[in-house]
Chains A and B, each alone.
Chain A
Amino acid sequence: MVLEKVVPALAGGGSGRVNDLAIKLANVNGTGSSSANNLLMQAFFRMGIPVSGKNLFPSNIQGLPTWYEIRVNAAGHTARALDYDVMVAMNANTYAQDIAEVRAGGYVVWDASWPLDPVLLRGDIDYLGVPVARMCTESFRSPRERTMMQNVVTAGALVALLAIDLDTVSNLLAEKFAGKDRLRDSNQRALMLGYDYAREHFDCPLPCHVEVMEGTADSILIDGNTAAALGCLYAGVTVAAWYPITPSTSLMDAFAQLCRRFRRDPVSGRNNYLILQAEDELAALGIVIGASWNGARAVTSTSGPGISLMGELIGLAYYTETPVVIVDVQRAGPSTGMPTRTQQGDILTCAYASHGDTKHILLFPGNPAECFDFAVRSFDLAEQFQTPVMMLSDVDIGMNDWVVPRLSWDDSWVPEHGPVIDAPALESRVEAYHRYANPNADEVSPRTLPGISERGAYFARGSGHNQLGGYTETPDEYLEVVDRLARKHAAAASAVPPPQIERRGARTALLTVGGCDPAVREAIELLATEGLRLDYMRIRGFPFAAAVEDFLADHDTIFVVEQNRDAQLRSLLVLETTVPKDRLRSVLVYGGFPLSAAEVVDSVRTQMEA
């Protein structure tokens, strides 16, 4: 169900709120709005205020409506807000819709270069007209500047209206355009045009505004794709292959950029990495399989359509027990779906990807910091269990900027390569080596790498094989291997990241996954104010840890909050735990925009009342 009703609990008082507001900027894409949006985000962050930015952009390069939502909240609630204190309406084509979304007592900042249709006037909000286009036409010569600078003029007006620290913003511009004085001057001039206009014409600051605080001192502002790319860099990835696809492209872009900075051999100046843009996702995974089989850490990143194509080779990696890491930045499906809209729609596909009996290790980061941590961990898990590991992020986590704890690194960390027999051990051993024999406690048999020793040679195959690695069509020999694979998958339950659990002694709980985290936590707080006490669990890995089973057993009613139509996480819980089906209820929000607390609160309340 898509919930439309906004709960009053969120609406709060309209005036005098400090460091608690939501701004929505409505623009036309391809006009340079994103850099101005970024400027505002960075300014709030540097002022020490917890902030989030949700980019609601179209799958298009130029000319379609695009929105950017900024929420600042001293208490740290940074899920998407559904009601806006300030609407920056810069796209006449969406005026009606945008103005309707402003909360009572809120403000519309609009381009007063042209008159506003009186039908758009509401009596319960204020209209702050800034002649943005006219000022830019008067102040800038080139047509490009006249368009691009409009966003900076608007930002300048917001700086004055919301009491954003002007020096901070000016410094940000100076840093961004360091060495490009002309550009810096134009931007600064545009900023001041908006700033001065607002100060002259409006009562600045507005009652809802911001103040410097110390809420982000040990935090960073980062998107999940960049963080995941950092994880790949730190885990020691040397081979990466990918096919361009929204919303995962920025992950590989970031990885390439990082490699150019940190992966040049200091002596030869040549590259300690190889990134291949493959002909399709299938090839991308093939390249990763080949590199991993040969002993390199390798990764591919993709989205749902890529996962569908990779299905065949995911099965090959699973059955040949080749470690591979796939990052799936999920987008709204099915088929091409909505490429720039978020969803958690690949959970079941990934859990059982490929034909035949297959089960995979999944990691579910809930924010960019976990994208980093889990990316690093995924390579260890893949090698430790010699199997595909898929990290499931999404548009919201991957492409939006989040405030998260500063990333940290233990310099004594070394990669865990799992059971591998090296050349000296092979040469000195008496017995012959067999690829799928002598498994360890995790049911993983030691592997050998090509190019090491004749004594370690084996023939990997996706066809039926026995524990010696030989071809087989004999039931007993076949079963010996595939049954071990099932036990191996089960053994991974204690190695994947455990669920995050908050118990308050309640019999009712909210259970969720991934980027729903901030919205669900906020919902729990809101419902608590109404007297509904709830426990909380966020799933972070599959196969499910024992703690998941325990938590399910301890609660009578569990609302499973997820962003897909078919309750995929709930289905996976029903399939893979002993929880009675009727204990699990669903809160499903899957229209493509990031989750808000209001949607969760509304659904839970409705279901509790029923």
Chain B
Amino acid sequence: MASIDKPPIVHPGTRRNSLGLTIRDYEGSMSTLCAGCGHDSVTAAIVHALWEMDTQPHMIAKLSGIGCSAKTTAYFARGAHGFNTVHGRMATIATGAAAANRDLLYIGISGDGDSLSIGLGHLAHLIRRNVRMVYIIENNGVYGLTKGQFSPSADVGSTTKRGDPNNTPPIDPMSLGLSLGATFLARGFSGDKQQLVPIIKAAASHRGLALIDVISPCVTFNDHEGSTKSYLFTRQHDSTATEADFVPVQAEIVASVPPEGVLSVTMHDGSVLRVRSVPSDYDPTDREAVAEHLRQARAAGDVVTGLLYIDETSADLHEMHDTVSQPLRDIPFAQLCPGSEVLAGFGAR
């Protein structure tokens, strides 16, 4: 089925951001996902965040792999280039794109099968390279497009729609990220846009790779009793670690001293992220403590959400490789070619 464009009708009273764009300008084509799919809510949160951040649509590049999640890159930011790549390999293509032009905002949308199964190796190395991008895993525990097989994020004991139990232990992208040196880890729930939007905004301002795991229920194949990735289960077991508040660069920071229990992080682009810990002793800058918190929560059957870990001090891909500040693709050829005289010296007697 061909993609369907949304009718470009704008209500006269619609609010505009500082670029004069309405929220509709950040939308894409009509979703072809199932009604009630968590992914559509994630798309809505992305649209909202981009609009609020006054992002120029053409300065965004959207990338995805294969699966239901991969389709969603067509559903937001129609003014941006998109690349729907192949299964599991989006991380590699995003790495190359970021290498060529460090000025764009890269948004990668993946799924639990795409990232944690076929693409796990690439995700691991994307984390190691700290490629500056927003990487969202729309995590529903199943392969939706192939009709309901378990994905590697399915919990032990959870069942398929038919009732078959999963016996294989899951891969948790947040714990994985902690062990591989990820510099920004957050978990959201597609049903909680209020929590997700500031997280996406903070991710877009992060210095390196921002990995966001969003529990995004599959209404068709994994929203039943026995699923641990259903709307009901996630609502009942949501354990908020932090609440994030994002202050953009332009905004006046009213209270310079954050209230007690609130961590204030100046992001790469100068914006400020304020993180309030819900368990008051939760420290999103302490890698070991966060890992321990996640371990305990998993044992208790809780789904920890919020901004889980942040490190704004580590070098990103370009800093590690000491590249020029100009996008590599924009360097004039004259500066790249050493010329005939130099060549004449090679291999000569």
The answer to whether A288 touches B339 (Cβ under 8 A) is: no
B109 within 8 A of A: no
The answer to whether A457 touches B58 (Cβ under 8 A) is: yes
Question: Given known contacts A234-B338, A239-B99, is B94 in contact with A290 (CB within 8 Å)?
Answer: yes
The answer to whether A273 touches B93 (Cβ under 8 A) is: no
- A-B pairs with lowest CB-CB distance, top 6: A286-B92, A290-B96, A220-B347, A454-B79, A296-B100, A287-B96
A177 within 8 A of B: no
Question: Given known contacts A268-B325, A273-B323, A409-B340, is B333 in contact with A414 (CB within 8 Å)?
Answer: yes
The answer to whether A291 touches B340 (Cβ under 8 A) is: no
B64 to A, closest residue via Cβ: A461
The answer to whether A291 touches B324 (Cβ under 8 A) is: no
A415 to B331, CA, bound (A): 13
Interface-lining segment among B42-50, B81-89, B247-255:
B81-89
B336 within 8 A of A: yes
A226-238 vs B, CB cutoff 8 Å, 1 = contact: the mask equals 1000100110101
List, in ascending order, chain B residues with CB within 8 A of A285's CB: 92
The answer to whether A462 touches B84 (Cβ under 8 A) is: yes
The answer to whether B100 touches A295 (Cβ under 8 A) is: yes
List, in ascending order, chain A residues with CB within 8 A of B85's CB: 286, 289, 316, 462
B225-246 vs A, CB cutoff 8 Å, 1 = contact: the mask equals 0000000000000000000000
List, in ascending order, chain B residues with CB within 8 A of A291's CB: 96-97, 99-100, 328-329
Q: How far is the CB of B308 from chain A (nearest CB, A)?
A: 25
B190 within 8 A of A: no
The answer to whether A457 touches B2 (Cβ under 8 A) is: no
The answer to whether B73 touches A271 (Cβ under 8 A) is: no
Q: Which of A233, A234, A262, A451 contacts B61 (CB 8 A)?
A: A451
Considering only CB atoms and an 8 Å cut-off, how many residues of chain A contact the other chain?
Answer: 79
A298 within 8 A of B: yes
B125 within 8 A of A: yes
Give B contacts to A, CB under 8 Å.
1-3, 57-59, 61, 63, 73-74, 78-86, 89, 91-101, 103-104, 121-122, 124-125, 129, 317-318, 321-325, 327-329, 331, 333, 335-340, 342-344, 346-349
Question: Given known contacts A271-B324, A293-B83, A472-B2, is B329 in contact with A238 (CB within 8 Å)?
Answer: yes
Q: How far is the CB of B335 from chain A (nearest CB, A)?
A: 6
List, in ascending order, chain A residues with CB within 8 A of B83's CB: 290, 293, 320, 459-461
List, in ascending order, chain B residues with CB within 8 A of A273's CB: 323, 328
A-B pairs with beta carbons under 8 Å apart, 26 shown: A220-B346, A230-B346, A233-B338, A234-B337, A234-B343, A236-B337, A270-B325, A271-B324, A274-B323, A276-B321, A288-B96, A289-B92, A290-B63, A293-B96, A294-B96, A294-B101, A295-B101, A295-B329, A408-B340, A414-B333, A450-B58, A456-B81, A457-B82, A460-B81, A460-B84, A471-B3
Question: Given known contacts A295-B100, A408-B340, is B59 in contact with A222 (CB within 8 Å)?
Answer: no
List, in ascending order, chain A residues with CB within 8 A of B99's CB: 239, 274, 276, 287, 290-291, 296
- Residues of chain A in range 5-43 having any CB-CB distance to chain B below 8 Å: none
A413 to B57, CA, bound (A): 35
Question: Given known contacts A290-B99, A293-B83, A462-B86, is B347 in contact with A450 (CB within 8 Å)?
Answer: no
The answer to whether A457 touches B79 (Cβ under 8 A) is: yes
Give A contacts to B, CB under 8 Å.
45-46, 216-217, 220-222, 226, 230, 233-234, 236, 238-239, 241, 262-263, 265, 268, 270-276, 278-280, 282-296, 298, 312-313, 316, 320, 406-411, 413-415, 448-454, 456-463, 466, 470-474
List, in ascending order, chain A residues with CB within 8 A of B342's CB: 262
List, in ascending order, chain A residues with CB within 8 A of B348's CB: 220, 406
Q: How far is the CB of B5 from chain A (nearest CB, A)?
A: 10
Q: Which of A406, A414, A472, A474 contacts B344 (CB 8 A)?
A: A406
The answer to whether B95 touches A286 (Cβ under 8 A) is: yes
The answer to whether A274 touches B328 (Cβ under 8 A) is: yes
List, in ascending order, chain B residues with CB within 8 A of A275's CB: 321
A293 to B81, CA, bound (A): 10
Q: How far is the CB of B65 from chain A (nearest CB, A)?
A: 10
Q: How far is the CB of A267 from chain B (nearest CB, A)?
A: 9
Q: Which of B59, B84, B104, B317 contacts A459 (CB 8 A)?
A: B84
The answer to whether A283 touches B343 (Cβ under 8 A) is: no
Question: Given known contacts A271-B323, A272-B328, A471-B1, is B121 in contact with A289 (CB within 8 Å)?
Answer: no
A289-B92, A471-B1 given. 7 additional CB < 8 A pairs?
A: A270-B322, A279-B124, A283-B121, A295-B100, A409-B343, A451-B58, A457-B82
Q: How far is the CB of A53 from chain B (nearest CB, A)?
A: 13
Q: How far is the CB of B248 from chain A (nearest CB, A)?
A: 21
List, in ascending order, chain A residues with CB within 8 A of B336's CB: 233, 236, 238, 263, 272
The answer to whether A316 touches B81 (Cβ under 8 A) is: no
The answer to whether B324 touches A268 (Cβ under 8 A) is: yes
A223 to B, closest residue via Cβ: B347
Question: Given known contacts A233-B338, A238-B336, is B343 in contact with A407 (CB within 8 Å)?
Answer: yes
Q: How far is the CB of B43 from chain A (nearest CB, A)?
A: 14
The answer to whether A453 touches B349 (Cβ under 8 A) is: no
List, in ascending order, chain B residues with CB within 8 A of A451's CB: 58-59, 61, 81, 101, 103-104, 327
B96 to A, closest residue via Cβ: A290
B128 to A, closest residue via Cβ: A279
The answer to whether A241 touches B86 (Cβ under 8 A) is: no
The answer to whether B333 touches A450 (Cβ under 8 A) is: no
Q: Which of A279, A449, A459 contacts B122 (CB 8 A)?
A: A279
Q: Which of B96, B124, B318, B327 contacts A241 (CB 8 A)?
A: B96
A126 to B214, CA, bound (A): 79
List, in ascending order, chain B residues with CB within 8 A of A474's CB: 2
The answer to whether A450 touches B104 (Cβ under 8 A) is: yes
List, in ascending order, chain B residues with CB within 8 A of A462's CB: 84-86
The answer to whether A270 touches B81 (Cβ under 8 A) is: no
List, in ascending order, chain B residues with CB within 8 A of A270's CB: 322-325
Question: Given known contacts A290-B95, A457-B58, is B125 in contact with A283 (CB within 8 Å)?
Answer: yes
The answer to whether B325 touches A238 (Cβ under 8 A) is: no
The answer to whether B347 touches A221 (Cβ under 8 A) is: yes
Question: Given known contacts A286-B92, A290-B97, A293-B97, is B61 in contact with A450 (CB within 8 Å)?
Answer: yes
